Amino acid sequence: MTEVVCVGESMVTFLPSRPGRLADVPSFARTIGGAESNVACALAAAGHATAWVSRVGADGFGDHLVEAVAAYGVDTSAVRRDPERPTGIYFRTANDRSAAAHEVAYYRAGSAASAMSPATVPLDVLDDCRVLHLSGITAALSADCRALVAALTAPRPGRPLVSFDVNHRPRLWRDPAEARVLLEYARGADLVFVGEDEAAQAWDVHGADAIRRALPEPATLVVKRGAEGAVLYTDGAAVAVPAPAVDVVAPVGAGDAFAAGVLSATLRGLPPAERLRHGHLMAAAVLTVEADVCAPPDRALADRLVALGEREWAALRLRAGWARGGAAAEGVRTP
């Protein structure tokens, strides 16, 4: 059985050859990016059987996306080609997303993925797995996509564990008030990821405990707190784990990698604190590269770091290249 099926749009991503305004960057390197496909790629690279379900255009960019995602070991057989709509693409600057100078130019309106709906997605494929992973980005793409997310987060017999990353992207919602629907979808999921900043902006809910009160239904809730780490609520208890210090190269894709790390540890049956530590380590791997997705840390190395004592974990610092396997002594500093 496929362990995780991820549903959502992926786009061809163009990374700048140097810092600066989009107007000034002379050339771009082509890669891929998409919240759900990022999770699928990271999990596949970590040894899990994963599938990505989406729609892409019948164009060269669609060819590249499917081939690039499949190269990570992801099953792409349920990806549909749309002869009428294009594959989405976007360009971004090298700046941190939170910086005022950061720019992103999306060309995704009317994309093939925006036509996903209960009628165009092979729903039978989505129940043949242990975990179905979705995100709020899909809901923002179109009314049809919202109908799909609503259907997949609704209770139904025999559904797999539903993982939902809120992934609130304000620029994708024409009316900011519409993003409150993400709270409804999260309530229908079994495992939810949400950032404190997202909950504040989308729902006017502030603080991890307040978010749990607003979301009592999911069996597991993970509240991300940026550089401070994350809190996992489950079985009536809360576990907080700080994030290790990381020499950040680019922040894009870290949230998807974090979700992949938590899901991987969940599939392995690890306890809550270890799930969060694995999430932090997968995020740290992406934070130290320029692309939106990368190979996860070697499992033996990750397990060794996860097993550190609290003081050693708090003193951990991860540098570029730390996740490339072996001892990675030059990339990891511990006491």
**Catalytic residue list:** 256
Helix (H) or strand (E) holding 107: strand 104-107
Phi, psi torsion values for 313, nearest 5 degrees:
-65, -45
C-alpha pair distances (Å), 201 with each of 11, 228, 230, 251: 25, 19, 18, 20
Task: Give the separation between CA 253 and CA 96, rounded to whole angstroms.
Answer: 12
Give yes or no for a contact between 79 and 56, defined as CB atoms under 8 angstroms apart. yes
**CB under 8 Å to 143, separation ≥6 — which residues?**
none
Nearest to 162 by CA among 186, 144, 182: 186
Give the helix ranges, DSSP H, for the chain.
Answer: 35-45, 60-71, 123-126, 136-141, 143-153, 181-187, 196-203, 208-214, 254-267, 272-287, 299-306, 310-314
Token pair listed for 165:
């990353």
